[in-house]
């Protein structure tokens, strides 16, 4: 009777205070997070997670922080993708995120430094290069690493594989877009809980004005550009006010600020919901005999191919059938082999994930990995032959780095075949990040220019299409000298092309736009 009465008392208490009961339930289900006891739970619905309540209760901090971040984001990124501000933006983003973690009591560990250093190095790479392609790849890498950094702090990702991470990433990005109303919703809830009733209307008016300002700027700029009559009327009415205002610039600046502001808040809100299922389902339920059958057939083909590659390419002094040149041989088979290597990698990972463990299957998968190593070596040799015949390009350097990355990742796959607890995704993340950082910081255009200038028949047309990263290497090779290796026409043409590009960006380059590659190119070419 005592136990029954105690249970009834607990039930009555939970009914009297459902907010506290729900908060306790949610707190138990939250990974890697703790909620401060000083945070008030009265501002949200009882079904909202504790982190959402914490963000609403501290909206004055998170709201103002998002606005400041949006302003700084615009200052750094607006028409300025490759400059010192890229480093500042990466550092500021990481700093703001760590600040939010502290306010939400989200725990961090020493592994965060890998992501922090990698993101900042990619930002530094944008200051060191003038290559648009490289800068684009750097920003893609920054975004992916940043989301990996966020996900691993809001969820327990130790057991996650590549597919789980991709799913969580897409889920977070997609649902963050659906949270665009939450900044306004959170502000409304915050005002209801913290402002006196007599002042509530004043704050609502202020909120309306705050919402109207960016909308007014955007709508006015669109209407002025859409109708000549309306623009003429506004010019006469506000001639002194709008005389020196570019509405296209205003629209772009407002959009950039709003993007940074809403992205910083909505992504954090979506992560605070923690609505991604963190549990990895055990999908090893399929019969291994199926995998053994089809993988054995592939293994026979791979073994035959590998034996031929070893006999003809590695042992047979590169002897080819009659009528084939090394360049044609390399061009014909490289991409096919690369695609087969990727198929093998996916196949091995698929079998590991879905088929029950079996010693025979493990042996076959190991053989497939060994054959894949031979294919990678063959692909690398083919690419080197192709480079020897047709010189270096950005893409060819990228492919060589990709092959090296694939070979290292394959080593982790082999280990995971025999050790299921091996953190394969973390291993691949570190491998891809380090390899790409080496590629990015090496400035491929500079390497391309240095190598091609040493060849007898350097492709002048391709050299002229390189970014300003190539200028120091071209200067060292004497390309810009009147008595250099190029003809007078080619010399004048390539010198004029690079000098014009360097002067356009280097002459008026301020502290915000500072780029080391542009600065060095301008110093070299301005006196030519």
| pLDDT score of 121 | 96
SS3 call for 157? coil
> What does the alpha-carbon distance between residue 171 and residue 524 come to, in Å, rounded to a whole number?
48
- Residue-wise pLDDT for 91-147, tens only, equals 999 999 999 999 888 888 888 899 999 999 999 999 999 999 999 999 999 999 999
| pLDDT score of 49 | 78
More confident residue, 362 or 457: 362
Residue 469, pLDDT above cutoff 90: yes
pTM of the model: 0.80
More confident residue, 99 or 18: 99
| pLDDT score of 235 | 65
| pLDDT score of 79 | 87
Lowest-confidence segment of 124-128, 144-148, 284-288, 448-452 by average pLDDT: 284-288
| pLDDT score of 243 | 53
| pLDDT score of 303 | 92
- Residue-wise pLDDT for 316-357, tens only, equals 555 666 666 666 666 666 778 888 888 998 888 888 888 888
Kindly indicate the confidence band of residue 68, based on its pLDDT and cuts at 50, 70 and 90.
Answer: very high
| pLDDT score of 119 | 96
What mean pLDDT is predicted for residues 69-98?
93
> What does the alpha-carbon distance between residue 348 and residue 365 come to, in Å, rounded to a whole number?
6
Domain-by-domain residue ranges, the chain?
18-276, 288-442, 452-525
Answer whether 62's CB lies under 8 Å from 265's CB. yes
- Residue-wise pLDDT for 288-299, tens only, equals 888 888 889 999
Residue 152, pLDDT above cutoff 80: yes
Joined tokens for residue 339: 């695609």
| pLDDT score of 275 | 80
Kindly indicate the confidence band of residue 478, based on its pLDDT and cuts at 50, 70 and 90.
Answer: confident
DSSP per-residue string spanning 160-196: --HHHHHHHHHHHHHHHHTTTTHHHHHHHHHHHHHS-
**Whole-Å CA distances, 96 to 64, 91, 141:** 12, 9, 19
For 440, counting Cβ atoms within 10 Å of its Cβ (0-12 exposed, 13-18 middle, 19+ buried), the class is: buried
| pLDDT score of 24 | 43
Kindly indicate the confidence band of residue 215, based on its pLDDT and cuts at 50, 70 and 90.
Answer: confident
> What does the alpha-carbon distance between residue 482 and residue 236 come to, in Å, rounded to a whole number?
57
DSSP per-residue string spanning 270-309: HHHHT-S--PPP----B-HHHHHHHHHHHHHHHHHHHHHH
> What does the alpha-carbon distance between residue 131 and residue 119 come to, in Å, rounded to a whole number?
18
Kindly indicate the confidence band of residue 202, based on its pLDDT and cuts at 50, 70 and 90.
Answer: low
**Whole-Å CA distances, 420 to 266, 313, 348, 353, 416:** 36, 35, 13, 10, 5
**Whole-Å CA distances, 47 to 31, 37, 44, 182, 441:** 17, 18, 8, 16, 48
| Phi, then psi, of 286 in degrees rounded to 5 | -80, 150
Residue 21, pLDDT above cutoff 50: no
More confident residue, 19 or 277: 277
| pLDDT score of 77 | 92
> What does the alpha-carbon distance between residue 521 and residue 528 come to, in Å, rounded to a whole number?
11
- Residue-wise pLDDT for 487-521, tens only, equals 777 878 888 888 888 998 888 888 888 999 999 99
């Amino acid at each position: 009777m005592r136990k029954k009465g105690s249970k009834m008392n607990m039930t009555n208490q939970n009914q009297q205070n459902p907010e506290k009961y729900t908060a306790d339930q949610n707190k138990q289900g939250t990974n890697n997070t703790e909620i401060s006891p000083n945070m008030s739970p009265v501002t949200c619905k009882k079904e909202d997670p504790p982190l959402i309540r914490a963000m609403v209760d501290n909206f004055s901090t998170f709201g103002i922080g998002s606005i400041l971040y949006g302003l700084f984001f615009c200052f750094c990124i607006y028409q300025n993708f490759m400059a010192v501000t890229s480093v500042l933006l990466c550092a500021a983003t990481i700093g703001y995120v760590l600040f939010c973690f502290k306010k939400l009591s989200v725990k961090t560990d020493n592994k965060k430094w890998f992501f922090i250093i990698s993101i900042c190095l990619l930002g530094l790479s944008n200051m060191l290069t003038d290559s648009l392609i490289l800068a684009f790849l750097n920003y893609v890498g920054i975004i992916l690493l940043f989301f990996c950094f966020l996900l691993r702090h809001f969820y327990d990702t130790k057991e996650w594989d590549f597919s789980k991470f991709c799913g969580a990433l897409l889920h977070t990005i997609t649902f963050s877009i659906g949270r665009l109303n939450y900044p306004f919703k959170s502000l409304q809830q915050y005002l209801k809980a913290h402002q006196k009733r007599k002042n509530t209307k004043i704050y609502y008016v202020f909120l309306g004005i705050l919402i109207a300002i960016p909308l007014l700027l955007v709508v006015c700029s669109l209407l002025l550009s859409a109708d000549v009559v309306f623009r003429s009327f506004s010019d006469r009415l506000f001639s002194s006010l709008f005389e020196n205002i570019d509405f296209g610039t205003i629209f772009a600046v407002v959009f950039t600020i709003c993007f940074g502001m809403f992205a910083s808040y909505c992504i954090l809100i979506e992560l605070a919901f923690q609505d991604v299922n963190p549990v990895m389902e055990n999908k090893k339920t399929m019969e291994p005999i199926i995998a053994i059958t089809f993988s054995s057939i592939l293994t026979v083909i791979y073994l035959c191919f590998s034996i031929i590659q070893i006999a003809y390419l590695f042992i047979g002094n590169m002897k080819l059938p009659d009528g084939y040149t090394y360049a044609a041989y390399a061009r014909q088979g490289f991409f096919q082999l690369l695609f087969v290597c990727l198929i093998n990698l996916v196949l091995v990972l698929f079998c590991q994930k879905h088929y029950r463990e079996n010693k025979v299957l493990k042996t076959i998968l190991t053989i497939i990995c060994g054959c894949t190593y031979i294919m990678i070596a063959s692909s690398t040799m083919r690419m080197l032959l192709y480079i020897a015949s047709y010189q270096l390009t950005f893409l060819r350097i990228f492919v060589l780095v990709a092959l090296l990355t694939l070979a290292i990742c394959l080593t982790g796959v082999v280990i995971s075949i025999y050790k299921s607890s091996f953190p394969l995704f973390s291993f691949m993340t570190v491998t891809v990040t380090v390899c790409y950082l080496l590629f990015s910081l090496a400035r491929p255009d500079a390497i391309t220019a240095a190598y091609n200038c040493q060849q007898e028949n350097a492709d002048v047309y391709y050299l002229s299409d390189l970014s300003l990263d190539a200028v120091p290497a071209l200067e060292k090779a004497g390309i810009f000298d009147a008595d250099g290796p190029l003809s007078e026409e080619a010399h004048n043409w390539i010198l004029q092309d690079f000098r014009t590009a360097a002067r356009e960006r280097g002459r008026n380059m301020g502290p915000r736009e500072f780029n080391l590659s542009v600065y060095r190119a301008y110093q070299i070419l301005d006196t030519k």
